[in-house]
Amino acid sequence: MHAATDRIGASTAIQVADVSKTFDTAAVLHQLSLDVQAGELLALLGPSGSGKTTLLRIIAGLDHPDSGRIIFGGEDATGLPVQQRAVGFVFQHYALFKHLTVADNIAYGLNARERKRRPPKAEIKNRVGNLLDLVKLSGFASRYPSQLSGGQRQRVALARALAVEPRVLLLDEPFGALDAQVRKDLRRWLREIHDRTGQTTIFVTHDQDEALELSDRVAVLDKGRLQQVGTPDEVQEQPVSPTVLKFLGDAVEVSAVARDGGVEVNGRATPVQAPANSGRDLKLYVRPWQIRLTRPDDAHFVAIVQSSYRTQGRQRIEVEGPDRKPFVVESPDSVRFSVGEPVGLEIIGGYPFDAALR
């Protein structure tokens, strides 16, 4: 294993340069470029069909781009076959070798090497033991994959990928097939392993929480184009487009206007600053926690209560706004609302975009 310190630095481990890919006339990636820093944990986040898995497979060498290049540590790897790329790939459905034991699965990549490069038997055994410790499966060496739970199988798959000391670890929706609790545990545990090994890692997910919680940086993809790359804070606080914003969580869209550097909704000022260089007409996107219930006189707009329920000390109220679209407002208030009651809503935050921008 590599110490975290000798991997972390601002050097670029992988460069995706102008990569395009078309499957059966449908374009999947459009001239996509992305730099991956050595030692970072990068999430490729996007809805299904955004091209994120294709991008991962192209980096691995399992698919080939129609144009563009993949550069590993300054060296062009575009034409390099998958066997020589030294990547560790973890599949959503584990893809373990069912007729091999856990230990043989993990040792597979080392045993597959040609004799000159193959480590001695004792060393392979030793390395398998260390990896089993790392993935907390020490007693499972002689089990078969069919005797393991989903979470355990995925840990074996990860150990198998790490065994060959890959230049980059690539994970394709690694927790997608697992249930919610196992998923949460594995998430935290993957972060721990990453912090310990400093392994450059890219993982694909369509789960915003997973991407935001786990990664150093998030790359948001939509329709084969890179929308934004940044730290979880950056993409949440400064989304570059309504698409990114909407993909990262629920938001209510409200028509607004820019006036004197501020944003007004229905003629009433909000605490939101108008974006620079925007036209007069704006769209304001408001998260559920950026709306406060208030008296109708002080409100930016009035909505009708549809239903309400409580979770862990908070109240979530579904209301129907003036445009008849339902949305959810969060409130710590203990005041109860009855269905059909009009409530005033005050906007206390939000993300303004020029109305022409998509």
Instruction: Please give the residue ranges that form the binding site for other proteins (CB under 8 A).
Output: 60-62, 82-89, 91, 93, 95-99, 108-109, 112-113, 144-147, 157, 160-161, 163-164
CA–CA distance, 196 with 192 (Å, rounded to integer): 6
Within the chain, where are the H helices? Answer: 4-7, 52-60, 102-111, 121-134, 150-163, 180-197, 208-214, 232-237, 242-247
Describe the chain by its helix, strand, coil percentages, rounded to 5: 30, 35, 35
Residue 239 sits at the vertex; the CA angle it makes with 238 and 242, to the nearest 5 degrees, is 140
> How near is the Cβ of 264 to other proteins at its closest, in Å?
54
> How near is the Cβ of 98 to other proteins at its closest, in Å?
5
> How near is the Cβ of 168 to other proteins at its closest, in Å?
11
Residue nearer to other proteins on the CB measure, 178 or 329: 178
> How near is the Cβ of 247 to other proteins at its closest, in Å?
27
Residue nearer to other proteins on the CB measure, 113 or 310: 113
Q: CA neighbours within 13 Å on the CB side: how many for 189?
A: 18
Residue nearer to other proteins on the CB measure, 158 or 212: 158
Residue nearer to other proteins on the CB measure, 61 or 239: 61
- Residues 144, 101: contact at Cβ < 8 Å? yes
CA–CA distance, 27 with 54 (Å, rounded to integer): 11
Residue nearer to other proteins on the CB measure, 104 or 207: 104
> How near is the Cβ of 265 to other proteins at its closest, in Å?
50
> How near is the Cβ of 80 to other proteins at its closest, in Å?
12
Amino acid at 285: Y
Tell me how far apart the 2 most distant CA atoms of the chain are, in Å.
81
CB-based contacts of 114: which residues, under 8 Å, 6+ apart?
Answer: none
Residue nearer to other proteins on the CB measure, 43 or 87: 87
